[in-house]
Amino acid sequence: GALFKHLQAAKREIERDYPVAVFVAGQPLLFGWTYAFATEILLVFGLTLLVSVLLLWGYFRRVYGVFLPLSGAVVNVIWGLGFAAWAGYNLDPLVLVVPMLITARAISHSVQFVERFYEEYEALGDKDEACIRSMAELLLPGSLGILTDCLGLLTIALATIPVMHKLGIL
């Protein structure tokens, strides 16, 4: 943050004293701009969470219809960030949207399972049998969907661009 402020002050000073346009680039500027707009970034995250909750509530009209998919997303975030920290990676601000998309996929898979479970439960009236049938019917397509997601992201890990490689691993 201090380096970002110093570089911005130096840029303004040079542009004030000389008839030139100065363009500054690099990691300190990237992270500096990210910190400068941290409030807006947190606002977007908060609004995204609020919209997700409202959409889940509008679809299921039940607390568990909101809680179950979001709890899966929370576990996804905790494991993902924990793995990133364990592996020694940090999230680059330029690719921060990708973990959000992966979390959205986790919510999507959870919504599909919860919806299928309640369809079976309404038809059968037995929770255990509804759970067994839901898992039996969704196991193969769900596993293939998750495997496809994983292979797509691992393909990105083959890139020679360091940011893309790190993103694919994460």
pLDDT in tens, 138-170: 999 888 988 998 898 888 888 888 878 887 877
Q: Angle, to 10 degrees, between the axis of helix 27-36 and the axis of helix 38-60?
A: 60
* Residue 17 confidence class, pLDDT cut points 50, 70, 90: very high
Q: What single string gives the DSSP state of each residue in 126-143?
A: -HHHHHHHHHHHHHHHHH
Per-residue model confidence as pLDDT tens digits over 21-48: 999 888 888 888 888 888 888 898 889 8
Tell me the C-alpha to C-alpha distance, in Å, between residue 71 and each of 65, 67, 157. Answer: 10, 6, 28
CA Rg value for the chain:
22
Other beta carbons less than 10 A from residue 143's beta carbon? 10
> Distance between CA 115 and CA 62 in Å, rounded?
12
CA-based nearest residue to 62, from 112, 107, 121, 118: 118
Read off the pLDDT of residues 102-124 as tens digits, 9 standing for 90 and up: 788 888 888 888 899 989 999 99
- 94: pLDDT confidence band, cut at 50, 70 and 90? low
- What pLDDT does residue 62 have? 87
- Cα gap 129→140, rounded to integer Å: 18
Task: Indicate whether 18 pLDDT > 90.
Answer: yes
pLDDT exceeds cutoff 80 at 98: no
- pLDDT given at position 127: 92
pLDDT at 50 over 90: yes
User: Residues of the chain with pLDDT > 90: what percent?
Assistant: 29
Per-residue burial over 151-167, b = 16 or more CB atoms within 10 Å of its CB, e = otherwise: eeeeebeeeeeeeeebb
- Residue 22: predicted pLDDT: 93
Mean pLDDT of 117-133: 92
